[in-house]
Amino acid sequence: MKILQIALIGCLFAALSPGLSEAQNGNGARLGKWWKNGRIATRLKLSSAQQAKIEALWTQNRRNLIEKKAELDRRNEELSRILMQSDLDETKAMTAYDRVLSARFDIERSTFLMRVRIKNILTPEQQRRLEIIAPAQVKS
């Protein structure tokens, strides 16, 4: 039962990923700004206050993610430069790799936190409805 609850929470978080998943996989297969989609907003019975709060969170997080993505790109470039050296220093390579992993973790952590905050804006009923709506919306 506990595993099922964790899986359902994971599915909800995936459904709550506004726009970021599009940026990550590049194919636009997710809901995007689902809170601005009139049909979804109506089915969820989102208030304009909820929509505004979600939009504000998304905007704030997007700015933050742009900065974090730039940092990840810098770290990847640094690692690439180190790996291209003919005399590879293992310590430098591992340090650079750890920095790449840390930058990735920062992005994932920020995304997760945004999802949690958006979830907390929704009522339990809205969360349940979104779990039902999201998979059908992505398929269409």
Q: Which amino acid is at 103?
A: A
Burial of residue 82 (CB within 10 Å: 0-12, 13-18, 19+) is: middle
Select from 3.20.20.10, 1.20.120.1490, 1.20.1250.20, 3.90.1170.20 the CATH code of 2-139.
1.20.120.1490
Cα(140)–Cα(132) distance, integer angstroms: 14
Is the pLDDT score of 88 beyond 60?
Answer: yes
- In the chain, the N- to C-terminal Cα span, in Å, equals 31
Q: Where are the alpha helices (DSSP H) in 18-89?
A: 20-25, 38-44, 48-83
Q: Where are the domains of the chain?
A: 2-139
Cα(67)–Cα(47) distance, integer angstroms: 31
* pLDDT (tens digit per residue) in 5-17: 343 344 434 444 4
pLDDT for residue 30: 60
* pLDDT (tens digit per residue) in 101-140: 999 999 999 999 999 999 999 999 999 999 988 877 666 6
137 closest CA partner among 38, 25, 10: 38
Higher pLDDT, 21 or 66: 66
The average confidence (pLDDT) of the chain is 82
Q: Which one-letter DSSP state was computed for residue 112?
A: H
Cα(75)–Cα(52) distance, integer angstroms: 34
* pLDDT (tens digit per residue) in 50-74: 999 999 999 999 999 999 999 999 9
Cα(107)–Cα(97) distance, integer angstroms: 16
